[in-house]
């Protein structure tokens, strides 16, 4: 006989976000480790690297990638965040967007190889805004892009150098990335609904 507390209550089932899980916590960890190894291989080490995450989840991913780079190479890589809010081309249609913080590591970005990190690459407009914001901070030697998920549907000629998972989607689908920090849950879901 099954105990009543062994199955989920209706409340717990309703609390689950919509859609299907396409990446679990272990999938995300493997993807980030692969991205970190690719960054090391592409750069032939971590010399002159600066990693900047695009808030909010890109920033959390950037810190995790830097921790993996430290584990792989035994060296600290400067990490910061790059808010793109004031550089976006959709401010007129979404004027209530909150401005986040930009934190540039000591030593800046001039002459460095900057790796921008974001959670999902979609239209390419956030990355375009990040490139504009980065241009106001200095002149990097090179800029590379690392994303956890590339879902396609580009509107600008932008591609990621390092991708955790290529995830073909319909425009009508929404990709939701949730991370232990800041969300308390680690998963990527796809659900119907405008992104």
Q: Is the pLDDT of residue 9 over 50?
A: no
Q: Is the pLDDT of residue 146 over 80?
A: yes
The residue ranges of every structural domain in the chain are 26-89+107-167
Please provide the distance, in angstroms rounded to a whole number, between the alpha carbons at the two ends of the chain. Answer: 44
Q: Is the pLDDT of residue 115 over 70?
A: yes
Q: Is the pLDDT of residue 3 over 50?
A: no
Burial 151-177 (b: 16+ CB within 10 A, else e): beeeeeebebbbbbbebebeeebbbbb
Q: Is the pLDDT of residue 84 over 50?
A: yes
Mean pLDDT (the chain) is 89
Burial, 64: exposed, middle or buried (Cβ in 10 Å; 0-12, 13-18, 19+)? buried
Q: Is the pLDDT of residue 19 over 80?
A: yes
Q: What is the pLDDT of residue 90?
A: 76
Could you tell me the pTM of the whole model?
Answer: 0.88
Beta carbons within 8 Å of 135's beta carbon, 6+ residues apart: none
DSSP string of 26-84, one letter each residue: HHHHHHHHHHHHHHHHHHTSSTTEEEEEPTTHHHHHHHHHHHHHHHHHSS---EEE---
> Which of the four pLDDT bands, split at 50, 70 and 90, describes residue 101?
confident
Closest CA to 78 of 45, 40, 52: 52
CATH number of 26-89+107-167: 3.40.50.2020
């Amino acid at each position: 006989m099954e105990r009543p507390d062994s199955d989920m209550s209706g409340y717990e089932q309703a609390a689950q976000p919509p859609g299907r899980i396409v990446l679990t916590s272990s999938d995300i960890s493997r993807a980030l480790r692969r991205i970190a190894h690719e960054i090391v291989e592409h750069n032939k080490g971590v010399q002159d690297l600066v990693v900047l995450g695009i808030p909010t989840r890109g920033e959390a991913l950037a810190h995790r990638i830097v921790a993996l780079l430290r584990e792989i190479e035994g060296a600290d890589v400067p990490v910061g965040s790059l808010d793109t809010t004031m550089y976006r081309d959709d401010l007129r249609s979404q004027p209530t967007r909150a401005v986040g913080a930009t934190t540039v590591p000591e030593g800046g970005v001039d002459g460095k190889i900057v790796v921008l990190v974001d959670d999902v690459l979609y239209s390419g407009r956030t990355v375009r805004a990040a490139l504009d914001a980065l241009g106001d901070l200095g002149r990097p030697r090179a800029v590379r892009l690392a994303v956890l998920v590339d879902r396609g549907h580009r509107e600008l000629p932008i591609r990621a150098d390092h991708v955790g998972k290529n995830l073909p989607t319909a425009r009508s689908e929404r990709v939701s990335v949730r991370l232990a920090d800041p969300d308390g849950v680690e998963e990527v879901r796809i659900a119907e609904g405008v992104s």
